[in-house]
A and B are shown apart, each in its own frame.
Chain A
C-alpha cells in the first residue's frame, strides 16, 4: 500500500480511475443527459467544459473598431501570435460563429480580439453595440499558420491593410524585443483611421520597427510594384501580409521572396445556376441560387451544420455529397456525385449546381 501511495504514477492513474468511476455514476444518475449539462449551469468555464469565455471588457479602439477582452475557460490551450480564434455569439437568439485574429500577446490568461465594423455586418455590429462585460461567448481553440517561426528571421516585412493589421499586432505585441530588423508597411484611408495608430507610432519612435504608412485618401492605393522604393532590401525579407483581397492578390502575383498571407474573406468567381439542396439526414429541402454557400443555407433553415473558418481553409465544414452537383464558389469548378456516392465537399465555399443532396 505504501509503495502504491508513494508512486506518483500509480497515484494519478488511481485518481483518474476514481474520477472516471464517479463520472460514470453521475452519468447514470443524469441519464439520458450528460452530467456536464448540469455542471455547465454553475461552472461554465471549468476544465473539461466546452470552451467558452467571459467578456471582461469591450472598448472602442477608434470610431470604427472595438477591442474585446476575454477570459477563456480553463480548457483554453493558448495561442501563437498571428493565429485566430473562432467566436460564437448569440445574435438575436441565433448562434453565429466568426473568426478573429488574436491581438494580444499570449500569457496572462486574457485574450483580445479587435473587430472592425463591416457595413451591414451582423456580428461586427453585435460586438460593437450589444456585447457587455460579464456575458459568455463560445470559443474554439486558436488555429492558423500565419505565425512567425521561432526564432524569428532577422529581416522581416509586414504588409497590412485596414483591419489586416490585427494578426500582425498580435505578433508585434508578443515579440517586439526580439525583432532585429522589422518593417511594417500599413495601408489605411487616413492617419486617424489607422487601427492601433498611436501604439504603432510609439513602437516606431522607440526604434522597434520601421513604420511606413500609406494613407489612401491622399496617396492612393498601395502599389505593390513600387514597394521596393520604400523598402529597398525587399528581396531579403521574409514577408507576412494581411489585408484586402486586391492587395494580397497583387502580392501573390508579384512576389519573389518568401510570402505568408492571411485572408479574412474568400475571393469568389461569378456564380452559376443554383438548384434545390436536400439535407437528407434532417429532411430539409431548400431552393438555392448559385451564389449562396450551402453552409449558410443549411444554417438559415435550422440544420446543424459543422463549420469552421467559413472561407475554405479549415475543412471543418465538409459533408458528403450524396447525389447531384455543387460548384466551388472560388474557382467555379463543379463536383458531381454519382448516386450513392459520398464525395466530401466544403459546404462553406460550395453552392448548388442543380439539384443535390447533402448528408446532414
Chain B
C-alpha cells in the first residue's frame, strides 16, 4: 500500500484487508456517536473560548497603550500572543474546518469566519482542508510536509540545497503566517512561468492576499502603535513580537503533528483507489499527538490530538480529548503505533529529522543520525 512496505519492518504488514475495513467501521462508529451527541455543552465551550479570546485581546491591547512602561509591555505582549494563538488555533483553525457549522451561527461558521492571519481564510481552507487533509503525508502531494521546500523523507533525492533546510525551517517558523499565505497561493509553482504569473485567477488571489496582509499590517504596525501615543515604538515592537511568538508556536505545533520520528509518509501511487479504511489508516500512521495538560491542548487548538483531528477533521475540537482513549484502544488492539510525547520531545524529534534529512542518507547514517526504530514498530513482523 505505501512507502511503508519498503521499510525494514512494515508497520501494517500484519493487517488483512478485512482488518483495515473493520478499523474503518469502528472509527465511523466513534464519529457517529460524537455527531449524535453534539449539543449545548459544545456550543457553550466554543462561545466561551471566543469570549475569553476577545476579552484577552482587548485587555492586552489596552495595556499596550502604556507599553512604554516595561511591565505593561511584558504583560501586554504576553496577553496578545496568547490571544493571537487562541484566534488562530482553537478558534480559527477549527471553525474553518467546519467543526462548528452545525450550530448554524453565522458568526461561527466556516464560510464566514476570517482570522487574524496573513492568509485569507478562503485560500487557507482550500490548501489545508482540500489538499493537506486529503493527501496527508503523501510525499509530493501534501504541501504541509516540508512546505515544498524541504526534504522530508529518506526516499526523496538529496540535493546540496537541502543543507540549508534547518535554516529555512527556522526562518519559516519566524514568519510562518506569510509562509502559509505563500503556499496557499502556491507561489513557487505560480511564479515559475510567465503564463502562470499572468493567469487572472492567480492574480486575483494574489491581490486578495496582499489586501489581507495590508489590513493586518495596518492594524498591528500603524493603528495600534499610533493610538499608543508616546508608546508608539514599544507597541509596534510588542505587536511584532506577539506575531512572531504566535508564528513560532503554531509552526512548532504543526511540525509536531506530522514530522516527529514514528510518523509515516506515503508514496503518491499508494493512494490510488484507497478505501475508506485505508484512508483512515493513513491518517492514523501519518499523525502524531502531543501529551500535556488542558492549557496545552487549548493552546494547540487541540492539534495535540492531531491523530484524532486527522481522523475526524470536522468534529468539535473539545471532543478529541474525549474520544482519544477509544481511538487509542483501536491502535493497541491492531498493534499500531500511536505516536505521542510531550511538546519539547516532539519538537526536538521533528527538528532532528529536519537536520538529518538535510544530509545525504549515507552521511547521516555515518554520523549515527540514522532513523531510530520505534517501540511500536519493533514488535511487528518484518515483511
Chain A min CB distance to B94 (Å): 14
- Can you sample 23 A-B contacts with CB below 8 Å? A28-B218, A29-B219, A29-B227, A31-B215, A32-B115, A32-B216, A33-B116, A37-B107, A38-B58, A92-B39, A92-B40, A93-B40, A93-B41, A93-B102, A94-B103, A95-B103, A96-B104, A281-B111, A282-B111, A302-B102, A302-B104, A304-B109, A304-B112
A32 to B44: give the CA distance in the assembly, Å: 24
- Binding site of A, secondary structure by majority: helix, strand, loop or mixed? mixed
Chain B min CB distance to A241 (Å): 33
**Contact yes or no, B105 A29, CB < 8 A:** no
Chain B min CB distance to A132 (Å): 13
**Contact yes or no, B101 A93, CB < 8 A:** no
**Contact yes or no, B223 A28, CB < 8 A:** yes
**Contact yes or no, A302 B39, CB < 8 A:** no
**Contact yes or no, B98 A304, CB < 8 A:** no
> Does A41 touch B at the CB level, under 8 Å?
yes
Chain A residues with CB under 8 A of B224: 29
By beta carbon, the residue of chain A nearest B217 is A31
Chain B min CB distance to A197 (Å): 35
**Contact yes or no, A304 B223, CB < 8 A:** no
Residues of A with Cβ closer than 8 Å to B? 25, 28-33, 37-38, 41, 90, 92-96, 281-282, 299, 302-304
**Contact yes or no, A32 B42, CB < 8 A:** no
A33 to B113: give the CA distance in the assembly, Å: 9
**Contact yes or no, A32 B114, CB < 8 A:** yes
Q: Mark B181-222, 1 if CB is under 8 A from A, else 0.
A: 000000000000000000000000000000010011011001
Chain B min CB distance to A33 (Å): 7
A304 to B100: give the CA distance in the assembly, Å: 11
Residues of B with Cβ closer than 8 Å to A? 38-44, 51, 54-55, 58, 61, 98, 101-107, 109, 111-112, 114-116, 212, 215-216, 218-219, 222-224, 227
Chain A residues with CB under 8 A of B215: 28, 31-32
**Contact yes or no, B219 A41, CB < 8 A:** no
Nearest 6 A/B pairs, CB to CB: A93-B43, A302-B101, A32-B114, A92-B39, A31-B215, A95-B104
- Binding site of B, secondary structure by majority: helix, strand, loop or mixed? helix
Chain B residues with CB under 8 A of A96: 104
A93 to B218: give the CA distance in the assembly, Å: 36
**Contact yes or no, A304 B111, CB < 8 A:** yes
**Contact yes or no, B54 A29, CB < 8 A:** no
**Contact yes or no, B218 A94, CB < 8 A:** no
**Contact yes or no, B219 A93, CB < 8 A:** no
**Contact yes or no, A31 B216, CB < 8 A:** yes
A342 to B41: give the CA distance in the assembly, Å: 40
A63 to B60: give the CA distance in the assembly, Å: 52
- Given contacts A38-B54, A282-B111, A93 and B38 within 8 Å (CB-CB): yes
Chain B residues with CB under 8 A of A92: 39-40
A299 to B105: give the CA distance in the assembly, Å: 11
- B40: which of A28, A90, A281 is its contact (CB, 8 Å)? A90
**Contact yes or no, A90 B107, CB < 8 A:** no
By beta carbon, the residue of chain A nearest B212 is A32
**Contact yes or no, A93 B42, CB < 8 A:** yes
A302 to B110: give the CA distance in the assembly, Å: 9
Chain A residues with CB under 8 A of B105: 95
- Given A28-B218, A29-B61, A37-B54, 14 more A-B residue pairs with CB atoms under 8 Å apart are A28-B222, A29-B219, A30-B219, A31-B216, A31-B218, A31-B219, A32-B115, A32-B215, A92-B40, A93-B103, A95-B105, A96-B104, A303-B101, A304-B112
A28 to B224: give the CA distance in the assembly, Å: 9
By beta carbon, the residue of chain A nearest B107 is A37
Chain A min CB distance to B53 (Å): 11
Chain A min CB distance to B55 (Å): 7
**Contact yes or no, B102 A28, CB < 8 A:** no
Chain B residues with CB under 8 A of A95: 103-105
A94 to B222: give the CA distance in the assembly, Å: 39
A302 to B38: give the CA distance in the assembly, Å: 13
**Contact yes or no, B40 A33, CB < 8 A:** no
A41 to B216: give the CA distance in the assembly, Å: 23
